[in-house]
Chains A and B, each alone.
Chain A
Amino acid sequence: CTSEIDDLRPINQETSATVFDDPASYKAFLAKIYAGIAVSGQQGPAGNPDLAGLDEGFSNYLRLYWKLQQLTTDEALIGWNDGTIKDLHYQNWTAGNEFIRTMYDRIIYQVSLANEFIRQTTDEKLNSRGVDASLKAEIQIYRAEARFMRALSYSHALDFFRNVPFVTDEDIVGAFLPKQTNGTDLFAYLEAELTAIESVLPGPGQNQYARADKAAVWMLLAKLYLNAEVYTGTPRYADARIQAEKVINSNQYSLDGDYRHLFLADNHLSNEIIFPIAFDGLRTQAYGGMTFLVHAPVGGSMPLSEFGVSSGWAGVRTTKNFVEKFPGMENSPDGRELFYTNGQSLEIPNISKFTDGYAIAKYKNVDRNGNPGSDTSGNFPDTDFPLFRLADAYLIYAEAHLRGGGGDANTAVGLINTLRVRAYGDTSGNISTSDLSLDFILDERARELYWECHRRTDLIRFGKFSSSGIWSWKGNVQNGTTTEAFRDIFPIPTSDLSANPNLTQNPGY
Chain B
Amino acid sequence: TVTDEANIPLPGVNVIIKGTTTGASTDFDGNYTIRANTGDIIVYSYLGFIAQEITYNGQTSLNVILRQDTAQLDEVVIIGYGSTTVKDATGSLDRIDSEEFNKGAIVSPENLLAGKSAGVRITSSSGSPGSGAEIRIRNGGSLSANNSPLIVVDGIPLSGGSLNAINPNEIESYTVLKDASATAIYGSRATAGVVIITTKKGKTKAPLSVEYNLQASVGHLTDKVDVLSASQFRQYIIDNGGDENLLGAANTDWQDQIYENAEGGIHDLTISKGFENGSLRANYNLSNQNGILKTSQYRRNAINVNFEHRFLDDHLKVNLTSKGSLVDNRFANEGAIGSAVFFDPTQPVEGSWGGYFEFEDADGTVRDLAPRNPLSLLLLNDNRQRARRNISNIQFDYKFHFLPELRLNVNAGFDYEEYEGRYFSNAAAGFNNLSLGQRPGQGTYDGVNKNRLLDFYLNYKKEFESLITGIDITAGHTYQRFYNIERNTDLDTSTGDFIDNIPIPFQLILESYFARANFTLDRKYIFTATYRRDISSRFSKANRNADFPSAAFSWLISEEDFLKNSQVVSNLKLRLSWGITGQQDVGGAFPYLGLYSKGDDKSQYQFGNEYVNTIRPEGYNEGLKWEEASMYNVGLDYGLFKNKITGTLDLYYRKNKDLLQYTQVPAGSNLENFLDQNVGETVSKGIEIGINATPFRNDNFSWDVSANFTLSDVEVTKLTLSDDPNYPGTPTGPTLSGGVGNLIQIHSLGAEPNSFYVFKQVVDVNGRLLEGVYVDLNGDNTINDNDKYRFQSPTPAAFFGFTSMMNYKNLDFSFTFRGSLGNYMYNNFRSANGYADAMLVQVGNLHYGNGSTHALETGFQTNQQFSDLYVENASFMKLDNVSVGYNIPFEHINLRASLTAQNVFTVTNYSGLDPEIADGVDNNVYPKPRTFVLGLNFNF
Contact = CB atoms under 8 A, between A and B. Distances in A.
Given A43-B599, A282-B494, A55 B741 contact: yes
Contacts, number: 328
Contacts of A54: 741
Given A32-B615, A497-B722, A283 B607 contact: no
Contact of A19 (B507, B615, B667): B615
Contacts of B504: 10-13
A173 B740 contact: no
B351 interface: no
A8 B722 contact: no
Contact of A310 (B368, B665, B670): B368
Interface stretch (B378-386, B429-437, B465-473): B429-437
Contacts of B617: 16, 29, 113, 116
Interface in A21-35: 25, 27-29, 31-32, 34-35
A108 interface: yes
Interface string B609-647: 111111111011111000000000000000000000000
A6 to B, nearest CB: 7
Contacts of B11: none
Contacts of A57: 740
Grouping DSSP codes into helix (H, G, I), strand (E, B) and loop, the A interface class, with mixed when no group exceeds half, is loop
A11 to B, nearest CB: 5
B594 A35 contact: no
Given A300-B845, A352-B841, A497-B722, A278 B784 contact: no
A13 B596 contact: yes
A314 B666 contact: no
Nearest to B362: A303
Given A41-B603, A377-B435, A167 B613 contact: no
B405 interface: no
Interface string B517-557: 00000000000000000011100010010000000000000
A283 B604 contact: yes
Contacts of A278: 605-606
A76 B611 CA distance: 33
Nearest to A105: B673
Contacts of B277: none
A355 B845 CA distance: 9
B211 interface: no
B666 A376 contact: no
A164 B669 CA distance: 13
A209 B607 CA distance: 6
B83 interface: no
A2 B511 CA distance: 8
Contacts of B667: 104-105, 108, 164-165, 178, 496, 499-500
B606 A375 contact: no
Contacts of B731: 53, 98
A51 interface: yes
Interface string A271-293: 00000001010111110000000
Nearest to B510: A5
B674 A53 contact: yes
B368 A173 contact: no
B436 A282 contact: no
A35 B786 contact: no
B245 interface: no
Interface string B587-609: 00110011111111111111111
B720 A499 contact: yes
A116 B617 CA distance: 8
B58 interface: no
Contact of B589 (A10, A87, A94, A376): A10
B867 to A, nearest CB: 12
A52 B614 contact: no
B435 A312 contact: no
A92 B674 contact: no
A495 interface: yes
Contacts of B670: 112, 173-174
Interface in A161-190: 164-167, 171, 173-178
A124 interface: no
A81 interface: yes
Interface string B754-794: 00000000000000000000000000001111100000000
Interface string A29-59: 1011011001101111101101111110110
B724 interface: yes
Contacts of B863: 81, 352
Contacts of A365: none
A154 to B, nearest CB: 11
B443 interface: no
Contact of A113 (B437, B611, B671, B722): B671
B871 to A, nearest CB: 17
B361 interface: yes
Interface string B485-528: 00000000110000000111101010100000000000000000
A498 B843 contact: no
A10 B673 contact: no
B479 A1 contact: yes
A353 B837 CA distance: 9
Contact of A34 (B590, B605, B861): B605
Contact of B740 (A82, A93, A282, A375): A82
Contacts of B841: 352-354
A4 interface: yes
B865 interface: yes
A16 B619 CA distance: 11
A500 B863 CA distance: 35
B403 interface: no
Contact of B669 (A28, A29, A175, A208): A175
B541 A6 contact: yes
A501 interface: yes
Interface string A187-228: 000000000000000000000111100000000000000000
B721 A498 contact: yes
A111 interface: yes
B741 A82 contact: yes
A104 B785 CA distance: 18
Contacts of B723: 498
B363 interface: yes
A352 B837 contact: yes
B604 A35 contact: yes
Contacts of A304: 361, 368
Nearest to A43: B600
Contact of B437 (A282, A376, A476): A376
A375 B437 CA distance: 11
B669 A55 contact: no
B154 to A, nearest CB: 23
19 contacts: A6-B541, A11-B505, A16-B595, A31-B605, A42-B599, A44-B601, A44-B603, A52-B673, A83-B742, A208-B608, A210-B605, A211-B608, A280-B604, A283-B611, A312-B843, A497-B724, A498-B723, A499-B664, A505-B726
- The 6 A-B pairs with the shortest beta carbon distances in the complex, nearest first, are A44-B602, A55-B741, A208-B608, A311-B368, A498-B727, A167-B668
Given A1-B511, A178-B667, A210-B607, 6 more contacts: A10-B590, A12-B503, A13-B595, A90-B784, A173-B670, A209-B609
Interface of B: 361, 363, 368-369, 433, 435-438, 479, 493-494, 502-505, 507, 509, 511, 535-537, 541, 544, 589-590, 593-617, 619-623, 662-674, 719-724, 726-728, 730-731, 735, 738-743, 782-786, 837, 841, 843-845, 861-863, 865
